[in-house]
Amino acid sequence: MITQKAVSKILCAAFVVFIGSPILSAANAQEAAKSIRSLPLDSLDSLDIRFISEKTEAVKAKADIVTYSGRRALHMITDDSTLAAGGPSGGETLAIVNGVDFADGTIEVDLVGMPRQGSNSQSRGFIGIAFRIQGDSNTAKSENAEFENDKSEDAKFENVKFENVYLRFTNGRSDDQLRRNHSTQYSSFPDYPWSRLRQENPGVYESYVDIEEKAWTKLKVVVSGTKARLYVNNVAQPCLIVNDLKLGESHGRVALWAGSDTEAYFSNLRIK
């Protein structure tokens, strides 16, 4: 038979659990909030601007803050006009987020990409996210305005590796179906450029997705182990699935990425 004293103890224990649960939930929420990094990208603070070129010629690049389509945004231009013709890839510009070591999780950003004014007909507006960036962060110049690499050893972006997913903005609504099928892309620098992946595994690392030119587009990448999924504009299903990230299970920095002869805009970055 349960005594009145025993009942009182049970009620007290239940009261402690009931009161304690919200406190634990609040603590968990605070801890979760600490793991989320949000940047409006209305300033160059917390960003380290870098560039990559596989060639010896100079790559012109620019990074600043402007207003595009009603919002303040990071603006980057990769200019390949100084590079010799030939080769599948040109220059690349990265805005590396300081203080982030990313392994698994989600990266979200609003972006717009377009061919650089004056670029050739092969430019598509290449824009996306680089993640798990590994290597020496002091092997390229970094300035807040315009800059270009020189031919000295110190300016080379050497011993750097990263995973990359991006959009080809002018392909999404092209009248050419083959171009539409190449709207998204995965690559892994430096060993697996898009050209090698397309040649060895046609259609596996790229896909179609609807993209409106010159319009803000939400891009989300979900990474877990050796897998990555790309979502565009809040759709429920991914438009690109990568099951074998070439760097394996790794970790590193995160960057906003603009490819060859591209003018790019970024806003509202969120890493968690």
pLDDT tens track for 6-61: 545 544 444 333 334 344 355 454 454 457 899 999 999 999 999 887 655 667 88
What pLDDT score does 90 carry? 76
Whether the predicted pLDDT of 81 surpasses 60: yes
Is the same domain home to 62 and 138? Answer: yes
- Residue 109 — pLDDT band, cuts 50, 70, 90? very high
Is the same domain home to 2 and 98? Answer: no
- Residue 122 — pLDDT band, cuts 50, 70, 90? confident
Q: Which residue has the tokens 């315009």?
A: 146
The more confident residue out of 256 and 86 is 256
What pLDDT score does 120 carry? 82
Neighbours of 188 (CB within 10 A): 22
Is the same domain home to 64 and 97? Answer: yes
What pLDDT score does 85 carry? 62
Is the same domain home to 84 and 209? Answer: yes
Q: If you average pLDDT over residues 245-253, what whole number do you get?
A: 98
Whether the predicted pLDDT of 258 surpasses 60: yes
Least confident range from 33-37, 207-211, 213-217: namely 33-37
Q: What does DSSP say about strands 92-97 and 146-148: parallel, antiparallel, or unpaired?
A: unpaired
Q: If you average pLDDT over residues 153-173, what whole number do you get?
A: 80
Q: Can you give the residue range of the structural domain that contains 111?
A: 37-271
Is the same domain home to 95 and 144? Answer: yes
Is the same domain home to 29 and 49? Answer: no
What pLDDT score does 125 carry? 92
Q: Which residue has the tokens 């970094």?
A: 142
What pLDDT score does 30 carry? 47
Is the same domain home to 75 and 21? Answer: no
Whether the predicted pLDDT of 86 surpasses 60: no
Is the same domain home to 169 and 63? Answer: yes
Q: If you average pLDDT over residues 133-155, what whole number do you get?
A: 51
Is the same domain home to 8 and 94? Answer: no
What pLDDT score does 60 carry? 83
Give me the long-range contacts of 227-233 (CB less than 8 A, separation at least 24): 228/163, 228/165, 228/186, 230/165, 230/184, 230/186, 232/167, 232/184
Is the same domain home to 78 and 24? Answer: no
Is the same domain home to 30 and 124? Answer: no
Mean pLDDT of the chain: 83
d(CA 229, CA 209): 13
Residue 167's CATH number: 2.60.120.560
The CA angle 258-262-268, to the nearest 5 degrees, is: 50
Predicted structure pTM score = 0.81
d(CA 146, CA 64): 9
Provide the domain count of the chain: 2
Helix residue ranges, H only, the chain: 4-34, 177-180, 194-200
Is the same domain home to 79 and 136? Answer: yes
Q: If you average pLDDT over residues 100-108, what whole number do you get?
A: 98
